[in-house]
Each structure stands twice: as structure tokens, then as C-alpha cells.
Structure 1
């Protein structure tokens, strides 16, 4: 499997897992989703917002890659989040609609990434405005790892709230 194929696999995994998580989350009341569960982002909805905001920040950075990915053009309508702990969507239905839209963009973008793209460096500014210049493939790996990390937290919170997400193994998607 090439690195580009691996990125497509991770985008597919991201979409699959988010569908499972949101299906489980929709079985809870708005109050249960907003309840402070002592997680880093407080609640289930807080953690899901963080994931959406984090993905938006990274994808907007990826849109600055010299390859100029057309699949990321729709993100130009979004403001870059100022903080990653904002509760932009307090309603699971609105957040899920944004997540579905964003996941399709991620999938389309991932399928457009080429091997030479991954060897380039990406210049960007972090949330504090500090300039960075890093290997693009390493940043993409971080992007998907960040998703997996926080989805694991959400899965735990959902389980504690009595909702079963089901199988979460990437192995299910590997031939």
C-alpha cells in the first residue's frame, strides 16, 4: 500500500467511524450530549465540536499546499476557528450535518493526494500565529491520528452514557 492509498484508507475510516459515533450520539438527549463528563472538552458535543474545528483548521492549512487541492475549495466559505474549544454547534443534528459535509471533503481530498505531494513541506501558522514548516506527510498523519485519538474519547463517553458504538477497528476496512 502506498502512502497515498493509506491516506485514502484513513479518510474512509474517518467517515465510517464518524457515521457510527453520530448514530450512537443521536440516541442521547441534547441534555445528555451537553452534560459535563469531565472530559478534556467537557461533554460529548464539546469533543465532537473540537474534532470538527480541528479538522477545519488542518484542512484549511492543507488547502495552502502547492498542489492547490480543488477538493478543499469549499472550505473557503468557512472562517478559520480562533479556538479549538468553541461550542460552535450545540445541536447534534447541525453538528452532524457539518460533519457529513466535512467528511466528504476529506474523502475527496484524500483521493486527490499524490505521492509527490507528500514529500513536500507545508508552511503554515499555528493557532498562536507562530510560523511552521513541516513535512506534509507527517502533518497528514497527525491529522488522522488526532481524529482517532478524540474519537476514542468520544467512544468512551458514549459507552459511559449507555450507548454502544460497536466495532471500531480499522482492520474491518483492510482487504
Structure 2
């Protein structure tokens, strides 16, 4: 085995050989006729991971909008329109669900009308929209109503029974 002096000499010779080899390779001395600019020493490295962008932008639509058109016959409970914001307002014989879905309360024909809209006095709509309108301007909104069918006279009076 090596003695302490021999190990130090052995390590020195390996270090000096490695330094000399890389210096010579950089200078182009090992291969004649090759310029030092073409030689480069590459060391092991890890390539950085790529990044991804624009995730989740291709979701399908939610199918909001009116489901029954003007003049269609509807039964009680039929959905007339679905909406995320208040685009359509409930008119006569029309109810509104918790998610602003409009539905028919009675059998009849659907009517879409544009009517003057007067919001409640302390609603946020007053401070955001009404105050910015010019004086005397009217605000029109779309209302969906159901015109009920006339009841047929198939009833008997209690006195006649």
C-alpha cells in the first residue's frame, strides 16, 4: 500500500494531469489543426423543466339563455330561461328559482316584453346604474310572462248539486 507521502504525491500527479489535460484540450494541443474555439468541454447537467400555460381555457359553455320562445305553450313548472346574471326578469305567472332560473307557474303561452324597470330604492343597482343615467331617462328590461289559458266552463254550482 501507499505511504502518506506516496498518497499525497499520487493525488498531486492525478490533479496536475487532469489540469494539464483540460488546459491542453482548451488550447487545441491534443488534436493538431483544430482551433480552440471549436472545442468546448461539457459537464453533466439537468435540463430545467418546461412550464405550461393557458390551462383550463377550453371548458364547454353552460347553456344559459331562453328555453321557450315567444308564443310557445308551456305547462306549469317548465323552465323558461336560465341565466347567471339578471338578463330576463319574471313577469306575470312566472317564478324565479335560487339560481335565477325562470319557470312557469301556470299553463299558458309565453310572452317576452320590454317594460320600464323601476328597481327597489336601496338596491345596489340604484347606486351603480340609475345614478349614472341622465335625468329623466327610462330603464327598459326584458320581462318574461305567461298568459294563462282560459278555464273552460266545466264547473257546476254548489246549489245545483
- The alignment's TM-score, normalised by the length of structure 2, stands at 0.24
Rg bigger for which structure? Answer: 2
- The alignment's TM-score, normalised by the length of structure 1, stands at 0.22
Whose RCO is larger (CA < 8 A, sep 6+)? 1
